[in-house]
């Protein structure tokens, strides 16, 4: 991956400012660099070291990668995750950006504020806390939306959690918990678009649709790219949602569904930390490659 | 990954030096971290393992919420013992908490608890290899105590003849039934599976909606197929298993279940599902199930009133001379090899598994220790909830078929993910037996087992 | 563009119905959860899903919940608050200056820092647990609350939020002007950047608090004493004592409505912090400021 630094910084160099700025910049990031090394770089480096060694610490090349890829669940998990990623990314980008734009256009500030709060609430329900919720939502016998489930042709919990429905179910669960936070972020970013830009668009006669498409969304570029990078990585590391459904269904659906679940299985069930690290490194490589594409195309790292 | 910077100045060299020193620092810490661990100096070999130097101090025990009462009672009765009671999830649902922590402690060389309760039966499948579980029948626990556990109770704790844990409770399967309802319908309790199937067919015709059992739980194979001597899970050695799910013993039970599922006298919801609780709770006529069904299912979950539920031996196949039954769970206690308070730990372990003060009077499940089980049964009879005595439980406690083991892979999880979805779609169990076998074999192999088919 | 009211009505109706559908989607499960806490286990299964139980039952559920291991729930809440707040303070002190510097100043290693931050952010956490445990052990912090507070305090997500905020919303010219006026670099940060950064500080603070509050796996693995558990791990423990989720539990320690109540208790602090932070999140500080 090549990140070309734009030369504009040096071209516009202010004679006395740069050295001072540089020193100050380093001072501002110093504490963060310490934490980054201790809790980011070092553990990640250690995990990479695990991926290429065996339990005794001997270098083994790619053998951990080969063994884990040969596990009978591996290819299934790759397929599951790929399909889920598709659903997840599309729904997140489309709905989060649209909802943020709609909320931003609401005339009533109080209404917009309350809606953002209500949309966010599920974000607080992480992990174990929402197992109960989804067990009851998805079970037609006791669900508040049993008539909806019935219309879709589902009469029992077992039918709802049939293997073919899982990517969609996980997307719904992940969207329910994750979307509210991103709506808040994107909404905040919309607010920072200077009013004169919006005013100019209005005077030019741009409608809501044109303003959104030609003004607002381009100005949100960095935020959207950031969301996509993290959502891609988060989706590739799918774990909580299948785990949660697996708990709710006592193992019927969602066990060993995703790659990340397999890493936990390798690490803590089979005592194979090295194999787990190999799968993690694969996920990391995929996420970083995707991120590199987005970063390169969006000028994400440019200071200006 | 390359990062292009436009200028090159002395500052840049400084930056590079800084980067190098940071990396160096990282490597140093890494090496320090790697160097930790090990350190088994000063051990003496006694009771069949290398013991750490013994000293006084606080005894650390890990229990789940249910066993908390046991630890607290011990503290009350033995105020002189310094006890640190830690509550954890008891490895429920195969959370692997204990295994995870022991792996980490093994790397750092400290932190192990002295005594641990686990709600799983398969801890020895890793805890022996990990050097955590201490051998108990090589001097720590006398043979006279071990001999009084129900026959086969400690099989799940035994690896190559050495006992590495003690069984807390048994979960032998029996036939639960609703006595007043049976009387009202004019039925007699079946003693053979053939009679059981006939009764199911009759119930479907005469009293549609009523149930003779449930086959929707993940532990269904452990109730029916285990009792039928189906060799799906014969653990033949520490890392070897023999799997055959298509033998006569398996297919005839699968066929029986298929017939009853088809005529709807057998539910496929699972006794803890909301569907069962809402629509079928008051339709239970008969229900093969483990010992703990009495309290956990009928009394607490389905809220069946007192003096209705009774217990009979689980049916047998006609002409089978050796009665057999299955088993669903039952916890175990492990003692750490690394304990520096082995005396206190052994005292606690002995008390908690055998003493009447807990096992006989307070324990929620059927005690694995014989004398405690007798006291426990008396207590249950006196409580007046059941419509019959629980003698069938005692008889069944020694009839658990020994050729179904507890491997590292979870049979319940395999059944839940392989067979249960098919059941929901209306497939027969018989038709899914080969797929079930295939799945067991794959899971066993991926856990490093040698598989015989 | 000339607009007449019927032409406006259709998009408005459309907007309204889209927002309504999503409102139901986000709120209905939460509403169910709130109502569940007021019912008995029997009512939960047999009654209408959206019926209200009774305040009396709510009280009974609360009593049963607090009775679990002698007020363990309150202790878990206290622990969570302590861990989340201390790491919140460290996170803000570390992440906001770092994000500012990455966005507004040029220094050697800036790109390296941006890239490595992004890379470690994308690393799956499962395998990081073992290295973290060994590191924390090497500095002898296992068993103390610092074993989770320090890893929590490393919050790359927040650094990026701040970074993007400054690059997209704060004009560099503003800072340049301040420098011309003789402000020191720290002065520029303190007097110009920080006041402009209120929305993003609120955002980082809020997300950091939530991330720490809802983190399950790290404390689950790191903390040896049950008395140190935060509420998320506590809720997990409760869950494993509900027979529907763990059939072999043996006795009925916790019923589902009590679990629902525990869940509500666990999320309330997050919602309070959200309401507090929301005032600052979108305050529109920069209205009128130009960015060229």
What DSSP assignment string belongs to B418-444?
HTHHHHHTT--HHHHHHHHHHHHHHHH
pLDDT number for residue A17: 57
Which B-chain residues 274-313 have CB contacts (< 8 A) with chain A? 274-275, 278-279
- Tell me what the mean pLDDT of segment B143-148 comes to: 96
Neighbours of chain C (3+ CB pairs under 8 A): A, B
pLDDT number for residue B291: 92
CA distances from C217 to B72, B95, C150, C164, C229 (A): 28, 12, 15, 29, 11
Query: Would the CB atoms of A47 and C247 count as touching at under 8 Å?
Result: no
Please name the residue that has the structure tokens 């787990």.
A276
Cα distance between residue A189 and residue A203, in whole Å: 22
- The residue with greater pLDDT, C10 or A121, is A121
Classify residue B328 by its DSSP letter. Answer: -
Name which of B1, B92, B104 is nearest C249 (Cβ-Cβ): B92
A158 touches chain B (CB under 8 A): yes
Find chain A residues with C-beta within 8 A of C108's C-beta.
Answer: 22, 26
**Same-domain check for residues C50 and C154:** no
**Same-domain check for residues C85 and C184:** yes
Long-range residue pairs from A56-60, CB within 8 A, at least 24 positions apart, any chain: A57/B34, A60/A274
For B154-203, write each residue's pLDDT tens digit: 999 999 999 999 999 999 999 999 999 999 999 999 999 999 999 999 99
- The residue with greater pLDDT, A199 or C78, is C78
What percent of chain B has pLDDT above 70? Answer: 91
Query: Would the CB atoms of A25 and C106 count as touching at under 8 Å?
Result: yes
Cα distance between residue B446 and residue B409, in whole Å: 9
Buried b (16+ CB within 10 A) or exposed e, C240-277: bbbbbbbbbbbbbbbbbbbbbbbbbbbbebbbebbeeb
B3 pairs with which residues across the strands? Answer: A3
pLDDT number for residue B141: 96
Model confidence at C7, in pLDDT bands (50, 70, 90)?
low
Of B96-110, B125-139, C91-105, where does mean pLDDT reach its minimum? B96-110
CA distances from A146 to A141, B216, C30, C42 (A): 7, 21, 16, 18
B283 pairs with which residues across the strands? Answer: none
Find chain A residues with C-beta within 8 A of B417's C-beta.
Answer: 251-253, 255-256
Cα distance between residue A199 and residue A206, in whole Å: 10
Name which of C46, C137, C245 is nearest B36 (Cβ-Cβ): C137
B7 touches chain A (CB under 8 A): yes
**Same-domain check for residues C132 and C266:** yes
Asked if the structure places residue C289 within a domain, the reply is no
Q: What angle do CA A70, C119, B4 make, to 5 degrees?
A: 120
CATH classification of B47-170+329-368, choosing from 3.40.1160.10, 3.20.20.80, 2.60.40.10, 3.40.190.10? 3.40.190.10
Cβ-based neighbours of B27, under 8 Å, separated by 6 or more: none
Name which of C69, C135, C248 is nearest B65 (Cβ-Cβ): C69
Closest A-chain CA to B411: A251
Classify residue A213 by its DSSP letter. Answer: I
Parallel, antiparallel or unpaired: strands B115-118 and B59-63: parallel
B117 pairs with which residues across the strands? Answer: B333
pLDDT number for residue B34: 41
Fold matches, B47-170+329-368 and B173-327+390-452: yes
Cα distance between residue B382 and residue B306, in whole Å: 12
pLDDT number for residue C125: 81
pLDDT number for residue B10: 38
The helix/strand count (H/E) of chain B reads as 16, 20
pLDDT at A6 over 70: no
Report the 10 Å Cβ neighbour count for B45.
8
Closest B-chain CA to A9: B6
Compute the nearest-CA separation of C23 from chain B (Å): 27
pLDDT at B29 over 50: no
Size of interface A-B (CB pairs under 8 A): 111
Tokens representing C270? 């997050």
pLDDT at A229 over 70: yes
**Same-domain check for residues C27 and C107:** no
Least Cα distance to B5 among C108, C42, A180 occurs for: C108
Compute the nearest-CA separation of B139 from chain C (Å): 30
pLDDT at A79 over 50: yes
Strand, helix or coil at C255?
Answer: coil
- Tell me what the mean pLDDT of segment B127-132 comes to: 93
Cα distance between residue A124 and residue A109, in whole Å: 23
Of A174-178, A296-300, C215-219, where does mean pLDDT reach its minimum? A296-300
Compute the nearest-CA separation of C126 from chain B (Å): 12
pLDDT number for residue A10: 39
pLDDT number for residue B352: 97
Asked if the structure places residue C238 within a domain, the reply is yes
Find chain B residues with C-beta within 8 A of A71's C-beta.
Answer: 446
Compute the nearest-CA separation of C82 from chain A (Å): 18
Name which of C23, C95, C114 is nearest A301 (Cβ-Cβ): C114
Compute the nearest-CA separation of B87 from chain C (Å): 6
Query: Would the CB atoms of C220 and B272 count as touching at under 8 Å?
Result: no
pLDDT at B38 over 80: no
Report the 10 Å Cβ neighbour count for B364.
18
Closest A-chain CA to C261: A129
**Same-domain check for residues C37 and C166:** no
Size of interface A-C (CB pairs under 8 A): 313
Please name the residue that has the structure tokens 């048994």.
B170
pLDDT number for residue C245: 79
CB-count burial class (<10 Å; 0-12, 13-18, 19+) for B308: middle
Query: Would the CB atoms of A158 and B11 count as touching at under 8 Å?
Result: no
Name which of A121, A132, A144 is nearest C260 (Cβ-Cβ): A132
- The residue with greater pLDDT, C7 or B414, is B414
Query: Would the CB atoms of C240 and B95 count as touching at under 8 Å?
Result: yes
Can you name the CATH fold of B173-327+390-452?
D-Maltodextrin-Binding Protein; domain 2 (3.40.190)
pTM (2 d.p.)? 0.87
CB B356 within 8 A of CB B69: no
Query: Would the CB atoms of B93 and C240 count as touching at under 8 Å?
Result: yes
Domain A71-298, CATH: 1.10.3720.10
Rg of chain C in Å (alpha carbons)? 24
For C20-43, write each residue's pLDDT tens digit: 999 999 999 999 999 999 999 889
For B298-326, write each residue's pLDDT tens digit: 988 888 999 999 999 999 999 998 999 99
Compute the nearest-CA separation of A2 from chain B (Å): 5
Beta strands of B218-308 (E only): which ranges? 234-237, 240-242, 266-267, 286-290
Cβ-based neighbours of B80, under 8 Å, separated by 6 or more: none
Classify residue C132 by its DSSP letter. Answer: H
B159 pairs with which residues across the strands? Answer: B162
Model confidence at C250, in pLDDT bands (50, 70, 90)?
low
Name which of B218, B275, B446 is nearest A250 (Cβ-Cβ): B218
pLDDT at C77 over 90: yes
Find chain B residues with C-beta within 8 A of C68's C-beta.
Answer: 65
Query: Would the CB atoms of A102 and C19 count as touching at under 8 Å?
Result: yes
Total domain count for chain C? Answer: 2
* Pick among C124, C198, C278 to test the A interface (most A CBs inside 10 A): C124
Q: What angle do CA B333, B339, B344 make, to 5 degrees?
A: 70
pLDDT at A302 over 80: no
Query: Would the CB atoms of B93 and C221 count as touching at under 8 Å?
Result: no
- Tell me what the mean pLDDT of segment C104-130 comes to: 89
Find chain B residues with C-beta within 8 A of C241's C-beta.
Answer: 64-66
pLDDT at B39 over 80: no
pLDDT number for residue C143: 86
Domain end: C59, C87, C103, which one? C59
Of A37-51, B17-31, B394-408, C206-220, where does mean pLDDT reach its minimum? B17-31
**Same-domain check for residues C29 and C135:** no
pLDDT at C287 over 70: no
Model confidence at C252, in pLDDT bands (50, 70, 90)?
low
Query: Would the CB atoms of C26 and A121 count as touching at under 8 Å?
Result: yes
Name which of B19, B36, B295 is nearest C251 (Cβ-Cβ): B295
C272 touches chain A (CB under 8 A): no
Find chain B residues with C-beta within 8 A of A252's C-beta.
Answer: 218, 416-417, 420-421
pLDDT at A169 over 60: yes
CB C274 within 8 A of CB A122: no
pLDDT at B294 over 60: yes
Of A30-44, B351-365, C242-256, where does mean pLDDT reach its minimum? C242-256
Domain ranges of chain B: 47-170+329-368, 173-327+390-452
Strand, helix or coil at B83?
Answer: strand
**Same-domain check for residues C245 and C123:** yes
- Tell me what the mean pLDDT of segment A203-228 comes to: 88
- Tell me what the mean pLDDT of segment A293-304 comes to: 76
pLDDT number for residue C248: 65
**Same-domain check for residues C176 and C250:** yes
What percent of chain C has pLDDT above 70? Answer: 91
Helix, strand, coil shares of chain C, percent, nearest 5, are 75, 0, 25
- Tell me what the mean pLDDT of segment C153-170 comes to: 90
Neighbours of chain B (3+ CB pairs under 8 A): A, C
Model confidence at A3, in pLDDT bands (50, 70, 90)?
very low
Of B11-20, B380-389, C87-96, where does mean pLDDT reach its minimum? B11-20
pLDDT number for residue B231: 94
Supply the CATH number for residue C102's domain.
1.10.3720.10
pLDDT at B26 over 50: no
Compute the nearest-CA separation of B323 from chain C (Å): 25
Find chain B residues with C-beta within 8 A of C240's C-beta.
Answer: 64-65, 89-90, 92-93, 95
In the predicted model, what is the mean pLDDT of chain B?
A: 88
Closest A-chain CA to C160: A226
Tokens representing C62? 């609360």
Domain coverage including residue C239: 67-281
């Amino acid at each position: 991956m090549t990140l070309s630094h734009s030369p504009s910084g040096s071209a516009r160099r202010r004679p006395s400012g740069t050295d001072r700025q540089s020193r100050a910049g380093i001072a501002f990031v110093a504490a963060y660099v310490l934490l980054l090394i201790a809790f980011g770089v070092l553990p990640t480096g250690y995990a990479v070291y695990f991926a290429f060694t065996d339990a005794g610490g001997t270098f083994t090349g790619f053998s951990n990668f080969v063994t884990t890829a040969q596990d009978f669940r591996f290819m299934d998990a790759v397929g599951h995750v790929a399909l889920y990623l598709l659903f997840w990314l599309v729904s997140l980008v489309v709905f989060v950006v649209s909802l943020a734009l709609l909320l931003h256009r609401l005339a009533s500030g109080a209404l917009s504020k309350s809606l953002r709060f209500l949309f966010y609430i599920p974000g607080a329900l992480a992990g174990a806390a929402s197992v109960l919720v989804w067990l009851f939502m998805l079970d037609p016998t006791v669900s508040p939306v049993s008539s909806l489930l019935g219309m879709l042709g589902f009469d029992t919990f077992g039918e709802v959690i049939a293997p073919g429905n899982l990517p969609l179910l996980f997307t719904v669960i992940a969207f329910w918990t994750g979307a509210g936070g991103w709506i808040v972020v994107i909404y905040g970013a919309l607010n920072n678009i200077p009013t004169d830009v919006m005013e100019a668009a209005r005077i030019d006669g741009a409608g809501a649709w044109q303003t959104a498409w030609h003004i607002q969304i381009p100005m949100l570029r960095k935020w959207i790219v950031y969301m996509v990078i993290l959502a891609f990585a988060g989706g590739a590391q799918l774990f909580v949602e299948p785990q949660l459904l697996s708990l709710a269904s006592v193992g019927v659906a969602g066990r060993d569904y995703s790659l990340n679940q397999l890493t936990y299985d390798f690490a803590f069930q089979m005592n194979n930390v090295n194999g787990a690290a190999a799968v993690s490194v694969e996920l990391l490589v995929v996420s970083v490659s995707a991120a590199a594409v987005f970063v390169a195309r969006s000028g994400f790292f440019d200071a200006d | 990954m390359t990062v292009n910077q436009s200028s090159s100045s002395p500052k840049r060299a400084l930056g590079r030096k800084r980067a190098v020193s940071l990396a160096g620092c990282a490597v140093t810490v890494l090496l320090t971290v790697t160097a930790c661990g090990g350190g088994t100096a000063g051990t003496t070999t006694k009771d069949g393992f290398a013991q750490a130097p013994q000293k006084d101090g606080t005894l650390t025990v890990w229990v789940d919420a249910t066993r908390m009462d046991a630890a607290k009672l011990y503290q009350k009765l033995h105020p002189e013992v310094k006890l640190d009671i830690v509550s954890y999830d008891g490895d429920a649902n195969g959370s692997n908490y204990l295994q995870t922590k022991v792996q980490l402690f093994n790397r750092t060389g400290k932190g192990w608890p002295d005594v641990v309760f686990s709600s799983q039966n398969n801890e020895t499948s890793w805890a022996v290899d990990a050097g955590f579980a201490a051998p108990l029948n090589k001097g720590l626990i006398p043979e006279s105590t071990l001999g009084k556990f129900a026959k086969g109770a400690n099989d799940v704790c035994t690896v190559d003849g050495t006992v590495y844990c003690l069984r807390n409770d048994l979960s032998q399967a029996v036939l639960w039934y609703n006595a007043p309802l049976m009387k009202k319908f004019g039925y007699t309790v079946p003693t053979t599976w053939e009679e059981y199937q006939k009764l199911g067919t009759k119930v479907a015709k005469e009293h549609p909606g009523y149930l003779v059992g449930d086959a929707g739980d993940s532990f269904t194979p452990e109730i029916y197929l285990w009792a039928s001597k189906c060799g799906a899970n014969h653990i033949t050695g520490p890392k070897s298993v023999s799997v055959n799910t298509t033998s006569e013993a398996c297919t005839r039970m699968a066929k029986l279940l298929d017939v009853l599922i088809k005529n709807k006298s057998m539910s496929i919801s699972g006794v803890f599902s909301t569907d069962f609780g809402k629509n079928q709770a008051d339709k239970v006529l008969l229900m093969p199930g483990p010992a703990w069904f009495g309290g956990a299912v009928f009394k607490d979950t389905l809220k069946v009133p007192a003096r209705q539920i009774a217990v009979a031996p689980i049916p047998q196949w006609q002409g089978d001379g050796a009665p057999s039954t299955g088993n669903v769970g039952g916890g175990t206690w492990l003692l750490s090899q690394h304990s520096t308070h082995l005396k206190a730990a052994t005292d606690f372990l002995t008390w908690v598994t055998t003493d009447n003060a807990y096992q006989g009077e307070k324990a929620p499940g059927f005690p694995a220790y014989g004398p405690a089980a007798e006291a426990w049964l008396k207590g249950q009879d006196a409580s007046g909830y059941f419509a019959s005595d629980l003698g069938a439980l005692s008889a069944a406690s020694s009839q658990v078929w020994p050729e179904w083991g507890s491997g590292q892979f979870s049979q319940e999880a395999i059944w839940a993910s392989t067979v249960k979805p098919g059941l929901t779609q209306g497939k027969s169990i018989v038709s899914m037996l080969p797929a079930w076998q295939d799945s067991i074999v794959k899971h066993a192999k991926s856990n490093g087992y040698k598989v015989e088919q | 563009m000339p607009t007449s009211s019927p032409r406006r009505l259709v998009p408005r109706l459309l907007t309204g119905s889209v927002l309504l559908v999503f409102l139901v989607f986000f709120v209905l499960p939460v509403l169910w959860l709130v109502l569940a806490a007021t019912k008995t286990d029997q009512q939960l299964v047999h009654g209408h899903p959206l019926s209200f139980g009774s305040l009396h039952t709510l009280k009974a559920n609360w009593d049963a919940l607090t009775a679990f291991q002698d007020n363990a729930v309150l202790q878990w809440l206290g622990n969570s608050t302590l861990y989340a707040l201390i790491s919140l303070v460290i996170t803000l002190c570390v992440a906001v200056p770092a994000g500012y510097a990455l966005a507004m100043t040029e220094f050697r290693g800036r790109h390296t820092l941006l890239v490595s931050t992004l890379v470690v952010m994308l690393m799956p956490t499962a395998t990081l647990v073992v290295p973290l445990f060994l590191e924390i052990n090497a500095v002898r912090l296992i068993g103390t609350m610092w074993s989770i507070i320090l890893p929590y305090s490393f919050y790359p997500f927040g650094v990026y939020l701040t970074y993007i905020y400054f690059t997209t919303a704060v004009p560099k010219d503003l800072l340049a002007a301040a420098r011309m006026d003789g402000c020191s670099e720290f002065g520029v940060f303190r007097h110009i950047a920080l006041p402009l950064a209120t929305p993003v500080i609120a955002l980082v603070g809020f997300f950091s608090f939530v991330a720490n509050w809802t983190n399950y796996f790290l404390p689950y693995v790191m903390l040896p004493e049950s008395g140190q558990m935060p509420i998320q791990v506590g809720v997990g423990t409760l869950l494993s004592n509900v027979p529907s989720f763990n059939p072999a539990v043996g006795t009925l320690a916790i019923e589902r409505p009590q679990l629902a109540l525990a869940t509500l208790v666990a999320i309330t602090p997050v919602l309070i912090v959200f309401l507090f932070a929301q005032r600052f999140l979108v305050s529109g500080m920069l209205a009128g400021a130009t960015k060229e």
